[in-house]
């Protein structure tokens, strides 16, 4: 499904890692973007605001459980738009267990393309549904925190949460924000 044949809507929720913009296409999550995220699409592509979209309530509930350390795998319908290679990378990201990390090279190996760690990194950076599709679980070859579209501080927070810590700004469940758009 492409942006030209789908009906998109969005909302904004609060989370422990800041406001998250959720975008749906025909009832499936196609975007989860953080403030100041690298490769964030223009807001006009998100469609009209629709705080009543049932998918957004389900997503907020699951994010609440995730940030509380009670959910390790998201169960949401996704509409991930990208090249076949990017979609393969994003599918492989979903196989990285909660609380664990892989290097870009290890992920490339899993895809059967051991020389493609740079391409894996580029696809990882274009993940349109961060957190739900856990691109934060990919690290440098030495285990170092390298690149994250939402910023290294957020990556650090998410990994700490998954390893039994609590994100710095836990302020309760995500809620719809008024007046953002």
What confidence tier does 2 reach under pLDDT thresholds 50, 70, 90?
Answer: very low
What confidence tier does 149 reach under pLDDT thresholds 50, 70, 90?
Answer: low
Catalytic residue check, 30: no
For residue 79, pLDDT over 70 is answered with yes
For residue 175, pLDDT over 50 is answered with no
Give me the pLDDT at residue 167, please: 52
The answer to whether 148 and 112 are in contact (CB under 8 A) is no
Burial degree of 106 (CB within 10 A; 0-12, 13-18, 19+) = middle
pTM reported for the whole predicted model: 0.85
The answer to whether 34 and 47 are in contact (CB under 8 A) is no
Count the neighbouring beta carbons within 10 Å of the beta carbon of residue 74.
Answer: 20
Residue of 135, 138, 159, 161 marked catalytic: 135
Side-chain-side CA neighbours of residue 82 (13 Å): 21
The answer to whether 54 and 94 are in contact (CB under 8 A) is no
Count the neighbouring beta carbons within 10 Å of the beta carbon of residue 29.
Answer: 23
What confidence tier does 176 reach under pLDDT thresholds 50, 70, 90?
Answer: very low
For residue 173, pLDDT over 60 is answered with no
Q: Supply the mean pLDDT for the chain.
A: 86
Give me the pLDDT at residue 144, please: 66
The string of pLDDT tens digits covering residues 124-146 is 989 999 999 999 999 877 776 77
The answer to whether 125 and 165 are in contact (CB under 8 A) is no
């Amino acid at each position: 499904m492409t942006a030209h044949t789908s009906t998109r809507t969005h909302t904004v929720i609060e989370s422990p890692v800041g406001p998250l913009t959720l975008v749906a296409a025909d009832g499936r999550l196609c975007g989860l973007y953080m403030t100041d995220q690298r490769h964030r699409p223009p807001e006009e592509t998100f469609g009209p605001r629709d705080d009543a979209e049932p998918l957004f309530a389900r997503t907020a509930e699951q994010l609440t459980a995730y940030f509380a350390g009670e959910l390790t795998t998201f169960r949401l319908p996704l509409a991930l738009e990208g090249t076949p290679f990017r979609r393969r990378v994003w599918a492989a990201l979903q196989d990285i267990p909660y609380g664990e990390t892989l290097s870009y090279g290890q992920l490339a190996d899993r895809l059967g393309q051991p020389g493609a760690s740079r391409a894996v990194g580029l696809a990882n950076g274009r993940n349109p549904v961060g957190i739900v599709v856990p691109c934060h679980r990919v690290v440098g070859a030495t285990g170092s925190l390298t690149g994250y579209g939402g910023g290294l501080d957020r990556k650090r927070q998410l990994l700490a949460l998954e390893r039994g810590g609590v994100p710095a700004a836990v302020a309760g469940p995500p809620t719809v924000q008024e007046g953002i758009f």
